Amino acid sequence: MSKSLLADASLRLEKALKYVSISEDAIARLKHPKTSLSVSIPVRMDDGSLRIFQGHRVRYDDTRGPGKGGVRYHPNVNIDEVQSLAFWMTFKCALLDLPFGGAKGGITLNPKELSKQELERLSRGYIDAIADFIGPDVDILAPDVYTNDMIMGWMMDQYNIIQRKISPAVVTGKPLTMGGSKGRDTATGTGAFYVIHAMLSKFEQKPENTTIAVQGFGNAGSVVAELLYKAGYKIVAVSDSQGGIYAEKGLDIPSIKRHKEDNKNIKALYCQDSVCDIVEHQAVSNTELLNLKVDVLIPAALENQITKDNAAQIQAKYIFEVANGPISSEADEILEQKGIYVFPDILVNAGGVTVSYFEWVQNRSGLYWRLTEVNERLKERMVTEAEKVWVIAREFDVALRTAAYIHAIERLGEALDAKGTRDYYLKG
């Protein structure tokens, strides 16, 4: 790429700043991450050799509360990506009115190449390296790409060992038996479903007449696909990192999900009880899936899937970003010109951090909620903020992404200005 991910992400901030009235001090603060840490993590491998892994943790802003953000394990992790993800988390937390700032972490590796024992040593080594940088009141970790509740449990346990006390609130998305919250493992997909269902009703899109393609059939993508399927929507295409499948008549998502869990790949099946039949389908690449003629496109994989090079080929009417940053700023302009409604990541995929907040609250209070209560609270917050973004977009006649940033910036600006501004000191 000609410019960094963070530079590209910052363009969204610039566009929204035209519509808000906040101090120059606040604007200056929002353009730079507060603190970044890069560490080397030595790991003894199963064969006795020693490997050094590169890890990062970035706290972009903590004006509204402690940093909050996941840790991803991926070969493409670098400091620019982690800073960009922390930037998005800052605005996501403000948009959902959570008492958190934005943070993110990651380690550069292919986790599929490591054994479980090696992954555990790596995860604990990461905490050894950043323990002084995190904490329940400083910076709170969570799962992200290729990390899960078990890895979060290892991280929390290692932090407890270092601190010589039990601190469950330092990590969210951990196992229920270690203080995790019900509903956290499916929160991103569940929250996205609430937004999608609520927003599509504004266009009088009836579920049975709405076709949907989902790029990325991982934790979030598979959950939102299954919920949409159960609500009566027609899911015609899904994909994972190996490729995808398309069936014009629609796919049986629960059976595909079971097949992937058992066989680690995607196949178009229809299951009745324990008997499964292969459904007539067409193999598609991830790129081809993006270009399908569908009503709704859900990018739920990684960043920069839709760029200036392929944006003109997108045929969907509505895009809901379940992944972080799947559309570049240049592609945004093209999609807007085509009249495509793009519901941004900082709104659509905020269910994960919202239920992480619920988990953090439960850890600190010692009171734990039922799944129905978690989901009721999640739905109320997601739909409420989605409605506010919708109103702002219509009021200023701007894209939904810009409206989301306007809403978030206003909250961040108020918090930043409360610490004192240039005008305050001049008047003093």
The residue ranges of the chain whose pLDDT is under 70 are: 1-3, 263-280, 420-428
User: For position 419, what pLDDT does the model report?
Assistant: 74
Question: How much is the pLDDT for 24?
Answer: 85
Q: What is the 3-state secondary structure (H, E, C) of 152-182?
A: HHHHHHHHHHHHCCCCHHHECCCCHHHCCCC
Distances from the Cα of 39 to the Cα of 106, 259, 264, 271, 428, angstroms? 10, 39, 32, 48, 43
Predicted local distance difference test score (pLDDT) of residue 98:
97
What's the farthest any 2 CA atoms get from each other in the chain?
Answer: 77
| pLDDT recorded at residue 266 | 62
Torsion 249-252-257-258 (CA) sign: negative
Domains and CATH numbers, the chain: 33-177 (3.40.50.10860)
- 104 classed as catalytic: yes
pLDDT tens-place string over residues 39-81:
999 999 999 999 999 999 999 999 999 999 999 999 999 999 9
Distance CA 224, CA 230 (A): 10
Q: State the pTM of this model.
A: 0.90
Residue 275 confidence (pLDDT): 45
Q: Of residues 104, 174, 234, 317, which has the active-site annotation?
A: 104
Q: Which pLDDT score, from 0 to 100, does residue 281 have?
A: 75
pLDDT of residue 22: 84
Cβ–Cβ under 8 Å, residues 319 and 304: no
Distance separating the N- and C-terminal Cα atoms of the chain: 47
Q: For position 353, what pLDDT does the model report?
A: 95
What per-residue confidence (pLDDT) applies to 1?
36
What was the pLDDT predicted at 2? 43
Report the pLDDT value the prediction gives residue 297, as an integer from 0 to 100.
98
Q: Give dist(CA 128, CA 111) in Å, integer.
A: 19
Query: pLDDT tens digits, residue range 177-227?
Result: 999 999 999 999 999 999 999 999 999 889 999 999 999 998 899 999 999
